[in-house]
Amino acid sequence: MCAKLEKQHTHEITYEGLLKGNKDWVAATLEEDPSFFERLSAGQKPPILWIGCSDSRVPANQITNTNPGDIFVHRNIANVVVHTDMNMLSVLDYAVNVLEVEHVIVCGHYGCGGVAAAMGNKQHGIIDNWLRNIKDTYRLHFHELDIISDPVERGNRLVELNAIEGVFNLSKTSIVQNRWANGKKLSVHGWVYSLETGLIKDLNVSVQSNDHLGSVFKIEGLTTSS
């Protein structure tokens, strides 16, 4: 287990302080496990790909109590999964076909600023083009969302639906469907993290095949193992 250091947030975080913090962490880690970095530098074989929000309060390893090397991470504003995002698709392809992860987790978080911005009409700049994807999720589920009178509850539900749509969008990719066609294990899950409690909610939308997809989304001519 990687060393855990007490962190004081009563003082200003400085550039120099980050470098000192790194040295302190290395020293504490080596004291607890002298071979930690030797093992870590030998390579990675994480079983998990995490697609999460860029929010600084949602660090994948810390909230799951895992160590460096355990989770392969991709983050963007509001953990959006869209088929035109070559960054995300490149990460997904590497994780699935090279690292051979067995689980992909889309994790949103309640109180997400990106989701809140997408629910409004104010202009925010170039990010509006990115948030349009979340507005599309709202459009798909407006019958459910429009009847929620409490704006906080409505926002929380949109956070959940955004993660759920991310799961389904991942399962529509040729990357994921090829993995399934090759008979290899891969599960895609949707989670939401609570900043107020620190707990993760499993949205129970895990998928292990394309059986749940409509015929229009099922890809023909998938590769199979030789």
The phi, psi pair for 149, rounded to 5°, reads -75, -35
Residue of 33, 70, 74, 109 marked catalytic: 109
Alpha-carbon distance 75 to 177, whole Å? 22
Q: Per the residue annotation, which of 11, 33, 39, 57 is the catalytic one?
A: 57
- The residue from 11, 24, 33, 55 that is catalytic is 55
Sign of CA dihedral 176, 184, 200, 74: negative
Q: Does residue 2 carry a catalytic annotation?
A: no
**53, 74, 179, 189: the active-site residue:** 53
Catalytic residue, from 74, 107, 112, 179: name it: 112
* Order of strands, sheet of 187-193, starting from the edge strand that comes earlier in the sequence: 71-76, 48-53, 103-109, 187-193, 200-202
Q: Find out whether 112 and 55 touch, Cβ atoms under 8 Å.
A: yes
| Cβ(201)–Cβ(211) below 8 Å | no
* Residues carrying an active site annotation: 53, 55, 57, 109, 112
